[in-house]
Every structure is written in structure tokens, then in C-alpha cells.
Amino acid sequence: MKKLNIIKIGGNIIDDELQLEEFLYALATLNEPFILVHGGGKLATDLATDLNIPQEMIDGRRVTNAQTLKIATMVYAGYINKNIVALLQKHKRNSIGLSGADANLIQTTKRNPEPIDFGFVGDVKPDGINIAFLKQLLQLGITPVISAITHDGNGQLLNTNADSIANTIAVSLSRTFDTQLIYCFEKNGVLYHPEDENSVIPVLDWNMFQTLKSEGVISKGMLPKLENCFQALEQKVGKIGIINAKNISGFINNKTHEGTSIQ
Amino acid sequence: MKKLNIIKIGGNIIDDELQLEEFLYALATLNEPFILVHGGGKLATDLATDLNIPQEMIDGRRVTNAQTLKIATMVYAGYINKNIVALLQKHKRNSIGLSGADANLIQTTKRNPEPIDFGFVGDVKPDGINIAFLKQLLQLGITPVISAITHDGNGQLLNTNADSIANTIAVSLSRTFDTQLIYCFEKNGVLYHPEDENSVIPVLDWNMFQTLKSEGVISKGMLPKLENCFQALEQKVGKIGIINAKNISGFINNKTHEGTSIQ
């Protein structure tokens, strides 16, 4: 099977113009095909603040009301997505920016408002991914750059978790590609001690994950990300990494062993 | 040659949610292939006002500084583009929203800052259009929906006139398709008396245009639009119409003769 990388880039890198351009230059010059999924970063929050639109949080998670959805659509599917594509084009990587509505790429279901109403949020499943279109783009040599705005097929855009999109796309494509799923962010990997960048866990398997979870070493935002990673491994995703965005070339080219490998 | 419609939709229709949805429903149910190009409308100006970003105008034309470009990118390539696509998908028309950076669809050149510096504005030429990709999408049965944000190939997004994009795409595709270029807006066509919606000029040829221009009947914004139309006719665009968005189905299906035909 042909190799395919599904790369997720997190908000902190997107917020930093210089880091983002360096990361995109590294991606543009990769010899392997990839799909890029990007999150939002602070830009959407900043715009909401500038427009005096209050952001409601429940259990530490943002509620997407109509105004927040509008901002997310403008920032993620517009500003960030198009600037990423323009920078990849600059470095001669032919790419295309897509939301889930485009070519019916990702159809999601609005989350049940019970018990908590998170508003215009869509949950993604493997059968909602338009695999055929992704394959057509890759065959044409065009790199998909996907923002985390999806649609319900009935005219409604929905805000969606970018990690889940990357994960679900990797699972969906693992029937036809030798997939590698890589989460890139500003830290060096999954850390034993969150404040110590040198405490990277190089290899993490299911048993070790259970132990570290019970010891409280892994907690908060990293928990659902890792749960999803192990599910993806079960569903035939070939290799999963959680790495510093700076190390993307080395990781993909198997030249460095930095970051955390989920096995 | 196969028929292809290049349809431009203007700002006043985009601003009106109900009119826009009616228009998109009419488009979605067309039997013929089309490419949709959309402008911006008041939304970008409203957002600039809300953010206290002053809009500089020179000779009645907007200057696109960095902040205005960011707003245009968010509103045109993000909010408007993705909502149009979601509504077309709702009505089972598989479509894809694109800026000029996506798949290197429209590469433009930043306008010379002399004699007037309009800022981040790109001028479009036929050799800047990625005709091959448009053909690939049409062959896949996917309708392109194009926002007026382009790129210079060097990482810079540029604001571009949507009329010019529609015109240039029609010219570029006229070598391989039997093209029809249709400008849709809120008026009934080119009018003898701008205030009288019943004074539509049904057919306008070059000689009549020259006469009406010299008499001052046609002026202001309509002049460059019509100049471009006559140039497009010379460059083998098959048929050109300037019509009320409400009449799009009738015009394309040759059932009504409302609006203005440029011949």
C-alpha cells in the first residue's frame, strides 16, 4: 500500500507567524503525500473579544452559538486556511483548502443538546468522510488542507474538533493507504512532567498508558487525544506520533526519534 | 462543444439571506453545468465598522490595506463562500468553495502602486487561470464556487474584482466550452432610466452601447462591466446576460427573455 501522512497542526503554532511558515516550508518540501488538518488558535478568541461577543464555556469547553460559529467559519475556513494554502503554494506544494462542506468532504451530525448544549458543534464519524474525493485529489498531486468547519448536509455549518477530524480521516483511509497520523504541537511530545520539555515519553503502548493514567501522569487534554490514538491503532492506522512541529521532517523521514510514538 | 455557464452573483443578493437561498436553490436544480463567482456585499464593510477599521476610498474605490485584506479573506473566502457551498449541498448540488490560492486556481499580479496605491489588490489575466483544474472538477461533477480572493504565487493573498474573475474565467474556458457568462444582480438588467426597473434594454450591441454611452444613459459602475462584456464577446464567449438573480433559471433554460443580452 502507498504511504500517506495525516498531519494535524495545533493552535499555538498557527498563532506564531514565523513558526507556522517554517513548519509549512518543511511540509512543502516533504517527498511524501500528506493531508493537513488545522485547528484554530487564539485568532478566533481574539476576534470575538474585539467584537464584544462573549464566549460561553461549559466544563472548560467552548459553546458555539451562531455568532461564534460565524467567527470560527471566518477565521478557520477563511483566514487561516487560505493563508496556509498560499504559503504552501509559495513553496511549490500544490494544495487546496477545504471545509467539510466543500465537495461534501466531511458531513457531521449536530451534537445532541442533552445533557449539555454545545450549540453548533458537529461530531464526525468514518462514514461521513468523502474518501473518494480525497483519493482523487491525491491522485491529481494536490495536497488537501482541511479546516475544522463541517456541515450537516442540510445547509448548516458546524464547528468540529480538529483532532477528531484528523483521527477519523486516518482511520477512513487506512483501508487503502499505509497511514501515519502525526499530531504536531509546540511541545516535544507526551511528557512525564508537563513542565519539563526533556521528559518526553518516547514510546507509549496501551498498558503503559493505563498505568500513567492511573498514576495521574497523563491527564486533562491529553487523555481524549490518546484514547482516540489507541482506537485509531486498533482500526489499522499504521503509525501514530505526537511531536513538536519543528521535528516534522525528521519524524516523517525516519531520521530522528524525537517525540512520542503511540504503539 | 459542451455548454458551460459562468455565473456572477452580486453583493446585494448575498446580503439578503432569503434572496440568496432562493437563488442558490434555482442554481442547484439547473440541469446545466456552471461555475459560480461571488462578490462580497456589505458584510465586509459592516465587519470593518464593528472592528473600527477605517475604510479608505480613492476615486470611489476601496483601498485594501492589510487589515482590510484580512477582513475580505475572512468574509469572502470564509463566511460567504462556505455558506453558499453548504446551501448548494443541501439542495444536492455537489460544489466546492475555492479561493484563487486553492489548487493555484487564480494567480494574479499585485496592482502597480503608481499612480494610485490600492494596496493588496490583484489584477487577473487569462494565463493566471488554472483551466485544467476547473475542467477536472467539472468532469467529476463538482460545481466550483469561487470567491474573489486570489494569490500572487509568493504567499500573498490579494483582493480581486469578482466581475473581472468571472469575465476572465469565461474567456479562458471559451476555447473548450460553449460558454455563457451571466451577471446576476438585484436589478432587472441594464436600464435606460436607472430608477425605472421596467426600462430594461433587452439587447445591447456595440454600436448601441457607444450611442448610449455618449448620451450619458449608461454610466458609472455599468461602464467597465459592459466594456469587459464586449471584450469577452470578441474573445469567443458565446452569450452574455445581465439579469435579475430571480430570473436565472428562465434565462439559462431559454424560457424567458428578461434582462439584457449583450451581443
Convert the pLDDT of each residue in A191-203 to its tens digit.
998 889 999 999 9
Which residues of chain B make contact with A90, given a CB cutoff of 8 A? 153-155
Listed residue (A130, A119, A115) closest to A165, CA to CA: A130
Q: According to the model, what pLDDT value does residue B55 have? A: 87
Q: According to the model, what pLDDT value does residue A219 have? A: 78
Could you tell me the three cell numbers for A159? 464547528
The whole-angstrom separation of Cα A246 and Cα A249 is 8
pLDDT tens, position by position, A83-130 = 999 999 999 999 999 999 999 999 999 999 999 999 999 999 999 999
> pLDDT category, A214, cuts 50, 70, 90?
very high
To the question of whether residue B41 is assigned a binding role by annotation, the answer is yes
**Cβ separation of B82 and A102 shorter than 8 Å?**
yes
The whole-angstrom separation of Cα B119 and Cα B110 is 8
pLDDT above 70 as % of chain A = 100
pLDDT tens, position by position, B126-144 = 999 999 999 999 999 999 9
The mean pLDDT of chain A is: 94
Q: Which amino acid is it at A17? A: E
CB-defined contacts A:B, below 8 A: 112
The mean pLDDT of chain B is: 94
Distance from CA of B101 to the nearest CA of A (A): 5
What is the DSSP pairing of strand B122-123 with strand B109-110? Answer: antiparallel
Q: Spell out the alpha helix ranges (H) of chain A.
A: 11-14, 17-28, 42-50, 66-72, 81-90, 131-139, 162-173, 206-214, 222-234, 248-252
Q: According to the model, what pLDDT value does residue A60 have? A: 72
Inter-residue contact A191 to A201 (CB < 8 Å): yes
Inter-residue contact A263 to A203 (CB < 8 Å): yes
Decide: residue A147, CB within 10 A, 0-12 exposed, 13-18 middle, 19+ buried: buried
Q: Which residue of B has its CA nearest to A48?
A: B51
To the question of whether residue B40 is assigned a binding role by annotation, the answer is yes
> pLDDT category, B194, cuts 50, 70, 90?
confident
> pLDDT category, B254, cuts 50, 70, 90?
confident
Going by the DSSP 8-state scheme, the letter that residue A47 receives in this structure is H
pLDDT tens, position by position, B72-113 = 999 999 999 999 999 999 999 999 999 999 999 999 999 999
Q: According to the model, what pLDDT value does residue A48 have? A: 95
- State yes or no: pLDDT of B59 exceeds 80: no
Which residues of chain B make contact with A149, given a CB cutoff of 8 A? 82
Q: Which residue of A has its CA nearest to B106?
A: A86
Residues of B with CB under 8 A from a CB of A: 50-51, 70, 73-79, 81-83, 85-87, 89-90, 94-99, 101-104, 133, 136, 140, 142, 149, 151, 153-157
**Cβ separation of A75 and B74 shorter than 8 Å?**
yes
**Cβ separation of B78 and A79 shorter than 8 Å?**
yes
Give mean pLDDT, residues B33-40: 94
Q: Which amino acid is it at A4? A: L
- State yes or no: pLDDT of A133 exceeds 80: yes
Q: According to the model, what pLDDT value does residue A100 have? A: 98
Q: According to the model, what pLDDT value does residue B58 have? A: 84
To the question of whether residue A62 is assigned a binding role by annotation, the answer is yes
The whole-angstrom separation of Cα A230 and Cα A13 is 25
> pLDDT category, A254, cuts 50, 70, 90?
confident
pLDDT tens, position by position, A46-86 = 999 999 999 888 877 789 999 999 999 999 999 999 999 99
**Residue B107 backbone phi and psi in degrees, to 5:** -100, 125
To the question of whether residue B62 is assigned a binding role by annotation, the answer is yes
**Cβ separation of A78 and B83 shorter than 8 Å?**
no
Of A17-26, A189-198, A229-238, B87-96, the one with minimum mean pLDDT is A189-198
- Domains belonging to chain B, first-starting first, are 2-262 (3.40.1160.10)
Inter-residue contact B157 to B148 (CB < 8 Å): no
Q: According to the model, what pLDDT value does residue B67 have? A: 96
Q: According to the model, what pLDDT value does residue A40 have? A: 82
Give chain A's length.
263
> Residue holding cell 455618449?
B214
Q: According to the model, what pLDDT value does residue A13 have? A: 93
Give mean pLDDT, residues B181-210: 94
Could you tell me the three cell numbers for A104? 461534501
Listed residue (B63, B9, B12, B4) closest to B184, CA to CA: B9
Which residues of chain A make contact with B133, given a CB cutoff of 8 A? 140
Give mean pLDDT, residues B45-67: 90
Is B34 strand, coil or helix?
strand
Q: According to the model, what pLDDT value does residue A62 have? A: 82
Q: According to the model, what pLDDT value does residue B93 have? A: 98
